[in-house]
Amino acid sequence: MARHSEGGSGTEPPTGQLTLEQASVMPAPDVLTALGVPGSGLDEERAADRLAVDGPNVLPGSRATWWRVLLRQFANPVLLLLLIAASLSFATGDQVNALIIGAIMAASTGLGFVNEYRAERTAQDLHRQVSHSVVVIRGGRDRSVDVKKLVVGDLVRIGLGSIVPADVRVLECNELEADESVLTGEALPVSKSPEPVEPGAGLGELRSCLLMGTVVRHGDAVAAVVATGEDAQFGRIAQGLGDRAPRTGFETGLTRFSMMLLWIGLALMVGILVINLLLRRPFLDALLFSLAIAVGITPQLLPAVVSTSLAAGSRLLAKEKVLVKRLTSIEDLGNMDVLVTDKTGTLTEGRITFLESVPAGQDQTATTRLGVLCCEADPAAGGAGAGQNALDAALWRAVGPGSGHPAEVTGTRRVDLRPFDHESLTSSVLVDFVDGQRWEILKGAPEVVVSRCSPDEDEGRATMGGLFEQGLRVVAVAVRRADDETELASSPPSGFHLAGFLCFVDRPKPDAVDALRALAHLGIGVKVTTGDNEVVAVKVCRDLGLTDDAGAVPVLTGRQVEALDDQALGAALATTIVFARVSPTHKARIIRLLRARHAVGYLGDGVNDALALHEADVGISVDTGTDVAKDSADVIMLEKDLGTLARGVVSGRRIFANTIKYVLMGTSSNFGNMFSAAAASAFLTFLPMLPQQILLNNVLYDTSQLAIPTDRVDEEQLRKPSHWDLGQIRRFMLVFGPASSLFDFATFALLLGVLHAGPDEFRTGWFVESLATQTLIVFAIRTRRVPFLRSRPSWLLTGSVLAVVAVGVALPFTPLGPLLGFVGLPALFYVALAAMALIYLVLIETVKHVFFRAESERAAALPHRRRTHPHPSTGIHRRAVGLVAHQGAPARVSFSGGPASAWPRGGLPGRVPPSGGRPVPPRRRSPGGSPHPGSTDVEGGTPGGTWP
């Protein structure tokens, strides 16, 4: 790929090539000239030519390459030691056994490779399903372009909540501020301007530029692309991050578990090696045997089982219209026990429709007209309604230009606009009317607007309360004379006269009740955060049955949240269902305190949800959400539906349950076998099992477990989340491992005392018994119920287990038997083996019920532990993942990868003059996607009127 050269700021760049530093010091018109771009933007042909030369706008990342996955199979240091020892054995003359050990290890790594590589390819295919687009001006027309096809010289529209898709030079902007903390570490937003900066400015001082990966926190802009992909500042920093993903709680637990097994294996290896050397056995044989023991206790195919489970789960979730950005997010989704969600579009249909105007002493049409004049777009200037916040957009559709009955705005002229913000919960405009008088129109949260009006507005206050009780979303409109004013204050003054209320409706979803019941059945408590008035929010929740045991809907307002310290708020969170009139910082604080005692999921799709999404254990957004929300989320839903989310939770829990099945069965059976081997080696005059036999036993057992991801999971395991509990795994291993050793010792007695077996007969008999018992135990350990009668395994798991047992029984009678050191055994042994296997399963079933009853009592007695693990996906890596090309999902302990947030589908609502000049946006815009608070969908509209 040919990329642009980096020239110094003192050189004159050739047309079409310009460094960011050079662009930052040049006037905006000169930047377009240097880039060879007309004011109407590149045409499609020139853009295609530049794309062919520069390559796509992506960052390099890890690919699902077979050799990377294959190398990961040899990451186990004990495995490498075994291969070295086998090589030494080969060099000293024992070529046959060394080759057999090598072949068995090759089969083991081959199984892991096939499953992990297939999982990575699955993840890579899923990533391609998420679209990434940006609004570009080409040939004087706006069009949505895949972010990968963005080229140097493109003119892009960037608005509130947008993630900047490349390094760009600002041409026009309206009160533009960007969060550049991901690159500079600066916590406060940085103001931007089209004005050139002084030469030599540092990265954090390029006020005339926006940098790839940063977030627009306020305002909007038209900008020219200067650098893409690896040439962008973000690209240089983020190179290679695809291989260093942050760790999740699931990954941390998996790593801790692996380390526990490693230490146990090393301890057994050293102990067995010492015992064998004290018994004066050949050093190389003793070393190979002890290393095989260490390898045998480790579930070699755990990464393959986990990756296969996650890949199968991701495919299932994709069918449910849920895409994961990291495969291990599936586990986090399943572990969730509290869901905090917004109201609009989740509990309600999300189709906000203007219902009617309710005047306060004036005519209805005047209230409607004032509301239209205070919209984000200027109706008198013919501005487009696209990109406005939800309530303004609904009003525009009903009575704006282009509607069937538009409000009359002829003769008005907008002087200034103060966009809606979450501090004042209002927006304002200065408007000159046809009679020459200048008025300020205030629109926003009813209680705030009314508080700025004259004290004698009692009738208006009563009207407002009645509208809230109907569950309507309400916006108040007020006016005041502003004859000599030319600019609006940062916050609304007093002295307004209430004009009336704009009423909107957003019906509850028909299936929301069923979805809430499904979440409750899964043990997930639902809490609602909203910018709406508490009366409206409570009515919607009560209509949907989202109440406490007493039928009430406990609520806290943003002011009450602010007044409480962390300890008091943490206590109140246990019973509160609705948080009304809350700001983004309130939401983030609520999530942070909830996470002290719960695994918290947050569902949001707006700019004001980004902080809360970052704080949550699992952030959930929707494909139609804002860029910054999708960037902050771990899971993207293609439909904003709680029912889909509930099915995703079930999938996550099923995957985790099946993973833990393998962990419990593998560690207990392997520990039991290795414990028996250590004990046997202490009193036998020969090795109880040859190294290759130990490894083959382990490979056959693990092969039978590869079908675990397909297994059924009992309903009670899906009703509540499960977490890594190393203490329980350790206790399980110490209880069930020795239980299996009892039957190993019984087999030793049978072979030595009854059958008078020699070394080969002993090793063959123990191999067959060990493989049969540890494999058949799967049916008992996979469920807490009575197996087969109350819990049936999947057909694939049943078939694989029985097939492996059959192979183990038949192997001594095949031509491979003598090569592996096996001999045929008498029929009496197999009769005794069948009896012992039956008794063994009965014993294990009894021990299982006692063990899990004791675990339940232990869990009930323990205090609720504080959860402290951090959210995994913050910082530059999380921002980079959306731009990494062909990213896979490494599945061996450290998982990563997935689609990131989509780029903007809307953009700056400016306009391109027919003359082909530079885009000229309106002077100010209110931030899109930030609805006025306080309101709920019925078709309707009100004719426009004339005021004053």
Which H or E run includes 663?
helix 642-683
Taking the C-alpha atoms of residue 853 and residue 784, their distance in angstroms, rounded to an integer, is 10
Q: How far is CA 774 from the centre of its chain?
A: 37
Instruction: Please provide the DSSP assignment of 564-598 as one string.
Output: S-HHHHHHHHTT--EEES--HHHHHHHHHHHTTTS
Q: Which residues pair with 635 in a beta bridge?
A: 324, 620
Contact 220, 176 (CB under 8 A): yes
- According to DSSP, residue 866 is labeled P
Dihedrals phi, psi of 834, to nearest 5 degrees: -60, -45
Which H or E run includes 21?
helix 20-25
Q: How far is CA 812 from the centre of its chain?
A: 50
Dihedral sign computed on CA atoms, order 734, 736, 739, 744: negative
Contact 904, 134 (CB under 8 A): yes
Query: What's the burial of 410, exposed, middle or buried (CB within 10 Å: 0-12/13-18/19+)?
Result: exposed
Q: Does residue 179 carry a catalytic annotation?
A: no
Contact 441, 370 (CB under 8 A): yes
Q: What is the largest CA-CA distance in the chain?
A: 116
Say if strands 555-557 and 578-580 run parallel, antiparallel, or are unpaired: parallel
Distances in Å between the Cα of 278 and the Cα atoms of 179, 292, 923 are 67, 19, 88
Taking the C-alpha atoms of residue 294 and residue 677, their distance in angstroms, rounded to an integer, is 11
Taking the C-alpha atoms of residue 473 and residue 688, their distance in angstroms, rounded to an integer, is 77
Taking the C-alpha atoms of residue 233 and residue 230, their distance in angstroms, rounded to an integer, is 8
Taking the C-alpha atoms of residue 479 and residue 442, their distance in angstroms, rounded to an integer, is 6
Q: Which residues pair with 158 in a beta bridge?
A: 221
Dihedrals phi, psi of 22, to nearest 5 degrees: -65, -45
Amino acid (1-letter code) at residue 581: R
Residues 6+ apart with CB under 8 A from 883: 57, 58, 59, 147, 165, 212, 213, 229, 235, 238, 900
Which H or E run includes 114?
helix 95-127
Contact 204, 129 (CB under 8 A): no
Q: Which among 231, 342, 641, 711 is annotated as catalytic?
A: 342
Nearest alpha carbon to residue 222 among 172, 177, 165: 172
Residues annotated as catalytic (active site), given as ranges? 342
